[in-house]
Structure 1
Amino acid sequence: MATPALSVEQQIKQLDDARKLVLSDSSHYPLIIQGILPIVATPARVELRRWVADFLAETFASPTIASSQKETMSLIVLETLKNLIENPSEDAAVVKSVVQTAASVYPLVFRWIINNPHDTMTWERMLAIKSRIFRIWDTAAPGVRICCIKFAQRVVLVQTKGPDADPRRGGSLEVSLSMVPPDHKLIPPKSLEAEASGLLDRMLAVFQENISDAVLVDATLNSLSILIRARPHIANKILNVILNFNPLKQANSPMTPKLRVMVKSMEKTTRSLLVHILKRDPQNPLGPRIQQYVERMMRSRNDIFDEASRKRGAPEPTDGLDPAKRQKLGAQVANATPKFLVPPLTPGPHTIAELFTVTGDEALKAFDVAQLSEDLVVKIGITILQRIDADTLKQAVEGVRQRYKSLGASQAELLNPETAPLGVDEDDDDYEPDFSTAETEEQILNKLDIISPDPEKVNAPDMALGHFTLPQPPPLTLLQATEVGQGTVLRVFGVMQTLEEKIKKTKGGLNRLAASAFDRDAWITILTRLATRTLTGLENTDEAVKPEPSDLEQESLANMIRESLRRYIIEDFRKRIDVAIAWLCEEWYNDQVQTKASENAVLHYEKWVLKVMDGMVPYLDASDKNVLIRFVSEIPGLSPGVLERLKELCRNPATVTIALMSLLFLHMQKPPARQMVLGAVEDIWDTYEDARPFTLKLFAKHIPGLGDRGKIEDVKKETNGMEAIAA
């Protein structure tokens, strides 16, 4: 029995379920793509073709998929994209998604062809897609044309010279013409560069023609921003064209609402692009010209749009005998602001609220403004001040002033000059008598005490409190001090691990300020100096001198910091190798200072440099060449113990290369250590036979007779082998 065919809605529901699957796990993308491509291989419903095209565009634009996986899938979908875009009756939404997919796929296919020049079929499919996109660029729907601009921008980016791609990042924008060999058969660099130059001119033509379509202009401006940033050698050409473009030119024609929106959009996009360029590169040679262009554009915009939004003022009367004009003037006089009267205060005491209340509405007087929030009162006050008439405000202020004067005059009349207290002037209008209640018996007695004080009380001794001092806390024991110090160090390391690492070009060396910035380097400097410099002069091996408990506490704290630093470095020594070098330089400097101060000084550098190496050596592999060379070359002291650790690396065939290259670097860059290095190389030759070929390759010209020694060893092996066979 045949299975009934599914409807379009059911098929799209199944496809949506597949999409949810790949969004949760990107490893299913290749399988799903191979399963949906046959849907559009034969004539299918337009809904299904739209879904497949949208899914492909979303897949190759997804950042969760690795670049290598995208490159493999791009070879699979090329034929489908070619068939869809070459169909002249294809749906516009399908074509739009196909062009978006092609823009994402082009750098991937380009990189594949660079590494596989024999794959002619793949490149021909890509050329067919590119040719079709360029043909429909000028005649397609606006949405498709925007996608064509994006595709053209990606082609220019790939077919122009730029920095070499970093394989560790895998970004599609890193593919450039610099990766193409000069003698490549399928993609000759000169032809591609010429095509990119012509394509860039075609993109810039939108600014040189009278095109009022703001959608195309904005799309082109947004695409050019990436080219200006990623390809500096063509940035000046693009900027010169943009600076000659006037987005407000269309404003000279009759201003319709649609044209107004389009002109504003083009002006804003152009200005935003130029301002962004100035922020990214303030030292740009075209900076002054860009600044002038932006300022001129803002002034022109204000003149055009603000002038159009202003209302035309009323015409002034030219003929006083015109009846119509006289009617308008009479209306203005009738609508003039009436005189604002503030009623005077009634006799008697008044509150401040009554002084400043100018309204006669009893209901409004009874309203309590304190019920409103402060923000609402401020907003109401600002709105009233903005809209109130100036004459009305002046009349209200004058009325309050008259009230204040009358109130002051009435209060001055209440004072009797003969009974007025001392210190009160008759002309002082600001005086307000204190209508207090009758004094109590206790207040009267206090006044009598002041007038006639008791002699015994006067001669009484001073009853001020003496100096009070808190008792000293009990001293901490050695164990308590160690625990507190360990907790402090752990908190410092916790803060340090959360700070963002900042790369600095220059540093002040050993004399730099330790806390000059709140970053990781500042905390590292503080910790290393706490571990090294705080104990200078405290450590002594003389038996006659016994260390104090405080000295033992500091020594224990210093060793605890050193151990914490070692663990912090070993946790991620590849990224924290600079911390190890800075710390060991401080230890070496401290040892030198203490050696000059005392012959019996305790040295720490040799001990901790070997501990750091013992933590690093088990985890080194062939890719850590730069880490190891930097470490052994930048530590200030090279000892036999360090060379022993390098020789131990020759036991493992995976690390023999980095060990010998580190020794070669020390031999070439550190002349005082050459004899020690050559001795270590000879020990490696005698001990590890598997390391001899690489040792002979690197040190043949530095160790005379090393090649002959290799031949002698081979002869000995052959002789021993023949003797064994004969026996």
Structure 2
Amino acid sequence: MAEPISVEQQIKLLEDARKLVLGDPNYYPQILQGIIPIIKPDGRADPAKVELRRWGADFLAETFASPTLPADQKETLSLSVLEVIKNMIENPNEDSAVVKSVVQTAASIYPLVFRWMINNSYDGPTWERMLAIKSRILRIWDTAVPGVRICCIKFAQRVVLVQTAGPNADPRRGDPLEVSLSMVPQNHPLLAPRNLEAEASGLLDRMLSVFQESISDAILVDATLNTLSILIRARPQVANRILNVILNFNPLKQANSPMTPKLRVMVKSMEKTTRLLLMHINKRDPQNPLAGRIQQYVERMMRSRNEIFDEATRKRGPPAPMDGLDAAKRQKLGAQLPTPAPKFHVPPLTPGPHTVAELFTVTTDEGLKAFDVSQLSEDLVVKIGITILQKIDGDTLNQAVEGVRQRYLSLQAAQPELLNPATAPLGVDEDEDDYEPDFYNAEDTEQILNKLDNAPPDEPEIKAPDMAPGLFALPPPPPLTQDQLVQVGQGTVSRVFGVMQTLEEAGKKQKAGLNRLAASSGDRDDWITIITRLATRSAAGLEEASDIIKAEPDQPVPFSLSNTIRESLYLYVLEDFRKRIDIAVAWLCEEWYNDRVQMTLGEQTVVHYEKWVLRVLDGIVPYLDARDKVLTRFLSEIPGLTPDVLARVKGLCRDPAMVNLALTSLLYLVMMRPPVREIALDAVEDIWNNYEDAKPIAAKYLSKWRPGFAERLKDNEEDKKTNGVAIEV
């Protein structure tokens, strides 16, 4: 039976999962589903589980506050964690750190759940869980520890922001700040606008009550002021109400009581936060009706602050110096000269050989000498060394360095320089500086033969062993895991896209015309050409498929370099789609061409064009404006149009402000792209059948381009007059 994993090991594994999602937000749904069972309260009093719940609550707060996670995914994930958050916060014995993170998570997901309820009025259990969480947070607001109370203030600010009417609320945008009471229909079965607005007004009064209490806590006042700036900017209808309360608040009123150091810091903090908030409001909106009153308040507060905190200095004069006195004033003040620091004594080394450790050991404590520093980790040794160097006296350090230097000099003097016999020249006197060779007469032939006869027999020659090096090969590297392959591939793609930031845009150079080679100019457009062809052609025909398969937009695909480049191209286009729509068109043209080539060759392949057309269209449609021409240009330049693509265009007509844009784009296709004229006219007729606001314009276009529609429309009108019933066209 395997041993149970300790809490420390579990937290280490959870940290690895956290690093994974920080690198790639696409893993958030899988990781979150695996973490919820671990951090879910089980009702047993297990102290070890507190660490896991703390980590889990922090992870939830970080997840729903992450800007890299799309709002639609946050909305889906928020529904799965409501029950866990509810159980955690309703536990009366829950750890305060867990409660703090849970309240932060609730503040992040409240707008998401509210938007979900607007569009899904049937989901009553979800709204009941959210109401239970909200009720619990509002109950512990006044009795919890200060850290939890600050988070409760943030939660109340989100509730007020959501449950008040916002200016020009746009439900198509994914920003949680855009969720407001204006989006709630009047006949919603669960969300009553009048009750929600009344609750928001009461919560705002509760937030502002901190400025009206006789004794105010600086922490709560500063936290409230920091949350009110967003309400003043995003909800103009309550801005004057908030400003009037702030202008009647005097953060210096507590300065009349005995001034303790703690009270001094609290008063200064409240005054500075209040003043900066009001100055920011005046700077943002100089034409504010309360601008003059705000300016007077700020000037009066600055004068009062100077009078209160500078009065003691003016009365007593400059403070007398405590140390480092001037020599001319010591006699008058009777100050004593500071006694010099005791001299640090470094005992000399005893005669004999010594190690390097003994040379640098300056302490006389035998216990410290016996301690083995190598048992400590490098990080701990570095921290201890930095702390000692920061706190040690400079004179003491200099005396210790001088003592070690004297030790080293004494060791050098005690050991004379020895000549290494292995390297000393043979037959040479050390005291002889110059070498003068002796010249003798050369020996004749007879003398040489006599020496050879008298010489001893030669010893057999010993051959040196063959030392030729053999073949050497490095061991093969260990195989990469799947996670390492994914990480390396993503890093490569990131570096490829990073090159584009340093390249020159195509508009700054003269084009070479149609006869130029692709990617031959060295500008940003050429690099885009390289990237798109890497994504579309590098792995053509390598996908595992039994037949030609259309890749669905929501279908998960295994990791590959091509899919990673496609995902990066998609994100790059959406960052500024109005300026980069030509990049999207070029990329999709390459996808369309590659799909057609693969199908012509009869190879087994996966087609990608339609999937990425729909993804790009879904990404830019929520951010379109009624005056945008990007949609018309995109539809007219992409190589292939399908009913699914036109269905996205028809969906724009749900917003009356976007009807003209949708119908104009379809009319352009009818006029300029005859191959898709019929499906475009079908889309216009579908709009005429389903959207009342679009009927006049759609009928005008259909009467001109679809023969027989005017007669059917006329017959329909006559039947209305006669029978009172409209016949469907």
TM superposition score normalised by structure 2: 0.50
Greater RCO (Cα-Cα under 8 Å, separation 6 or more): 2
Which of structures 1 and 2 has the bigger CA Rg?
1
TM superposition score normalised by structure 1: 0.50
